Amino acid sequence: MMNNRELQRLIAGLFPDDVAVAGSVTCPTDAALLPEEQHQTTAMVAKRLREFTHGRHCARQAMQQLGHAPAPVLKHEDRSPVWPDQICGSISHTGDIAAAVVAHRDGYRSLGLDIETAEPLDESTHALILRPDERSADGAQAKLIFSAKEAIYKTLYPLVGSYLDFQEMVVEFDKADGTFAAQPHTDRVPPPLAAALQGRYQVTPDWVVAATWIRAAAD
């Protein structure tokens, strides 16, 4: 089992240095929502409320590292987070773990973070997640493809504003340096945007983590 420091080091090792990272392996007892956020959570069951609160707690810790005052991170109807004007970010949770990454908008257009357990992806879902040219992947590789696609989606969604199916994206890995790139199979993602997306990943015996970002200077 990781501790908080190991989790943060794992994620921070994937992003550039000017991306702030916060994460914890269990929800701290002092994690709390701001009043504006509470209004959006009245229908949530206890488990969902806990992960939502944990993610917002991490987001505020990461904002603090950027020198940003604690601010609400509301959610759109489609569940995507509403970041304060000057920053962009991403949240992921799995089991009791939650983490958030944030960066100044003058440096980054968008970020993506995904954390998954390292269990192989169930074979019954391969046809849904993998494109035909990715189907030779074994369960472990399929899980990495899944995680990379989720991080890519979190990065692209705020910029393209539409759902992207798993079949509309191919991930190209460079295993030698632990990076990946997004190859969209849809005209809803402009090629320069996909080309500007950078990805890094890490697989440990327990976890798969995918990190993605698009810099502000990129088209």
Ligand X SMILES: CC(C)(COP(=O)(O)OP(=O)(O)OC[C@H]1O[C@@H](n2cnc3c(N)ncnc32)[C@H](O)[C@@H]1OP(=O)(O)O)[C@@H](O)C(=O)NCCC(=O)NCCS
Does residue 124 sit in helix, strand or coil?
helix
* Eight-state DSSP code of residue 100: E
Q: Minimum distance from CB of 163 to ligand X (Å)?
A: 6
Pick between residue 40 and residue 179 the one whose CB is nearest to ligand X.
40
Tokens of 134: 């990715």
Q: Minimum distance from CB of 153 to ligand X (Å)?
A: 4
Asked if 143 is part of the footprint of ligand X (rule: CB under 6 A), the reply reads: no
Pick between residue 157 and residue 173 the one whose CB is nearest to ligand X.
157
Tokens of 160: 């393209």
Q: Are 88 and 62 in contact (CB under 8 A)?
A: no
Which of 75, 95, 40 minimizes the C-alpha distance to 158?
75
Q: Minimum distance from CB of 129 to ligand X (Å)?
A: 8
| Parallel, antiparallel or unpaired: strands 87-94 and 81-82 | unpaired
Please tell me the distance from the alpha carbon of residue 143 to that of residue 126, in angstroms, as a whole number.
9
Asked if 157 is part of the footprint of ligand X (rule: CB under 6 A), the reply reads: yes
Which residue from 8, 22, 24, 81 is in contact with ligand X, where contact means CB under 6 A? 81
Tell me which residues in 50-79 interact with ligand X (CB under 6 A).
51-52, 55, 75, 78-79
Please tell me the distance from the alpha carbon of residue 179 to that of residue 163, in angstroms, as a whole number.
24
Count of residues engaged in binding ligand X, rule: CB under 6 A:
21
Which residue from 149, 207, 211, 214 is in contact with ligand X, where contact means CB under 6 A? 149
User: Which chain residues interact with ligand X by CB under 6 A?
Assistant: 51-52, 55, 75, 78-81, 91-93, 114, 149-150, 152-154, 157, 164, 166, 169
